[in-house]
A and B are shown apart, each in its own frame.
Chain A
Amino acid sequence: MKKILLSMAFVAVLAGCASGVKLDEVQVEDRTGSSVANNSNSGAANVSSLNARDVAGLNGNKPGPAGVESVVYFDYDSFSIKSESQAMLEAHARFLREDRTRKAALEGHTDERGGREYNLGLGQKRSEAVRRALVALGVNDAQLEAVSYGKEKPASTGSDEAAFAKNRRAEIAYR
């Protein structure tokens, strides 16, 4: 038994320093003489020292036109603006035309079904539909930025058609 122990030849051990930072290359010889544990996938990037960042969000929209709705709803798998949203968009267009220094973000959203990135693309189609509608009503393109939240920020958290209908939307947010 002692002979086995002596022949084990633990060549290198982990550099387990006090900060517990990393596992280094380990080489151990087995008794047949060949190196058995020279794993090239050692040296994991240093988990223990991973620094968490805590970021703050940006809060607060500026007011838009008083008493005017700011959410455009869409049908399933649709990116066309319904006639019921026309009057509302005209009010926003008037507001933006009257003060060319005002800027608005158009935030597209989808319901929860499907992949996050593809939904980002679908939400982008909705926000760009609103952008085009406002530009057609005389707003400068430079006043607008069409972005997408995809399915990340549902207005309603349910998983039924009523919730889905509330979530298929584009919001007009003044910055």
Chain B
Amino acid sequence: MFLKRLKFASQAALAVVFVALSLSVHAQFRVEVSGMGRAQIPLAFANLRGEEASPQKIAAIVQADLERSGQFRGLAAGKVIDETERPEFGDVRQKGADALFTGSVNKLADGRFDLRVRVWDSVKAQDLGAVSFVVVAGDLRLAAHRISDFVYEKLTGEKGVFSTRIAYVTKANGRYNLWVADSDGENAQSALASPEPIISPSWSPTGTQLAYVSFESRKPVVYVHDVSTGKRRLVANFKGSNSAPTWSTDGRSLAVTLSRDGGSQLFLIDAQGGEPRRLTQSSGIDTEPVFSPDGTAIYFVSDRGGSPQIYRMPAQGGPANRVTFTGNYNISPTLSPDGRLLAYISRVNGNFKLHVMDLASGTASPITDTNADERPSFAPNSRLIAYATVQDGREALMTTTIDGSIKARLSGQSGDIREPNWGPFFAAPR
């Protein structure tokens, strides 16, 4: 396996660096690297033959994707190498690169672009494989993310998440927009525009639908929105407030918070709508439900003990066990898809900070330096977390590695930006 013989020791010493992306990088996010001891694969990027014909800087998008993952350190090979040639590895090894990215971009007669990429193990001088895409200009960024996924999987043995998508909400000029964007926050497409707030978007397990809370009828109600057709349906519009939708693992039902019986309590409702079934019976606030990846449990927030804490109960309702014991304000639970980690927001000295708990040991740590973190969600490979925060007085979306060592700020939209929700791997081609 490629990973096993990487020379990690030399990289650890270099781990505390600030990687300033060059101004030629098209994407607007920046990658900050902090923390010690991360093992990163040094990957040299050759200039792609013919890339100047592409309106998108393919190699730069791939490099930024891979650096955002926290598992790669990009280097410039400093010359053009396309996917058809066998590179000279001496220069690349000299730069300390363990792998080399090569390829080409060709504009076809019909206006589409033919992207071809090959990855090499530069230490063994071994071809690790090639991939190609033929796309219209509008799909070049998505193709670049697919290339990132290919490189990531070749070099780490794990699935990449770069071609997955993130939903988020912006507020600008008194208007609210729900967006579906690439995993780097770019290429955003509006799914909903409204003069009233939109919160809590939540992807269905297949990545085809978003549930969310809209205030367009002057109260919070829950919609399910098919992102490809733009059609949507009201799922919970009961007397009082309807909020905090989250999908069951089979996608057939939603857990929601309803106040129709008084108070804020958890209910299960069919994804098509219908009569909800009450899951909790407390005199306080029960909200922010989320299903465990195996579908057997619901984690949620309750102030039944006097302060908001995270609890766990069987998915069909029943006795709840408290999960968080440190601090008096723990909210917004989310579970890693591998079931090992719980991310949540904890108030510490008046600051709201993203925490990650190892569920097996129960130990938790804050992983950010910001003070108004909100609404974490895991990438589908359990390696990254997207969350909202405030940076320099502005709302911002961030991604972080699960140990907090590498963070990236996502941009691409003006105005306040919030409520991220990282979508799943797509189960089936459409």
Contacts and interface: CB of A to CB of B under 8 A. Distances in A.
Interface of A: 1, 4-5, 8, 10, 13-14, 16-18, 20, 22-26, 28, 30-32, 36-37, 39-58, 105, 107, 113-118, 120-122, 124-125, 128, 145-150, 152-153, 173
B329 A114 contact: yes
Contact of A23 (B133, B180, B216, B287): B133
A117 B331 CA distance: 9
Contacts of B131: 26, 28, 36-37
A120 B287 contact: yes
Nearest to B424: A41
Contacts of A145: 219, 239-240
Nearest to B84: A5
A52 B189 contact: yes
A50 B132 contact: no
B358 interface: no
Contact of A43 (B132, B218, B419, B428): B428
Contacts of A13: 114, 132-134
B191 A50 contact: yes
B422 to A, nearest CB: 13
Contact of A50 (B199, B218, B228, B264): B228
Nearest to B262: A128
Contacts of B239: 145
B164 A41 contact: yes
B315 interface: no
Given A8-B83, A121-B287, 14 more contacts: A1-B86, A28-B130, A40-B427, A41-B149, A43-B426, A43-B428, A50-B228, A55-B193, A116-B199, A117-B243, A117-B257, A118-B288, A146-B259, A148-B220
Interface in B294-353: 301, 303, 308, 329, 331-332, 345, 347, 352
Closest 9 CB pairs of A and B: A51-B230, A43-B429, A121-B285, A36-B129, A30-B129, A13-B134, A20-B138, A16-B135, A147-B219
Contacts of B225: 53
Main DSSP-derived SS at the A contact region: loop
A17 B425 contact: no
A79 to B, nearest CB: 10
14 contacts: A13-B132, A17-B136, A20-B138, A23-B135, A23-B142, A39-B146, A50-B180, A50-B191, A51-B229, A55-B214, A115-B352, A115-B375, A149-B220, A152-B199
B85 interface: yes
B263 A124 contact: yes
B429 A128 contact: no
Given A118-B287, A152-B197, A36 B130 contact: yes
B426 A115 contact: no
B133 to A, nearest CB: 5
A122 B163 contact: no
Nearest to A9: B130
A53 B308 contact: no
Nearest to B208: A45
Contacts of B352: 113-115
A114 B426 contact: no
B409 interface: no
Contacts of A128: 259, 262-263
A13 B135 CA distance: 8
A10 B214 CA distance: 46
Interface string B125-148: 001111111111111001100100
B80 interface: no
B2 interface: no
A157 to B, nearest CB: 11
Nearest to A48: B138
Interface string B163-191: 11100000000000000100000010111
A105 B218 contact: yes
B232 interface: yes
A160 B219 CA distance: 27
B227 interface: yes
B429 A52 contact: no
Contacts of B137: 20
Given A18-B136, A42-B163, A55-B192, A148 B241 contact: yes
Interface in B106-160: 112, 114, 116, 127-139, 142-143, 146, 149-150, 153-154, 159
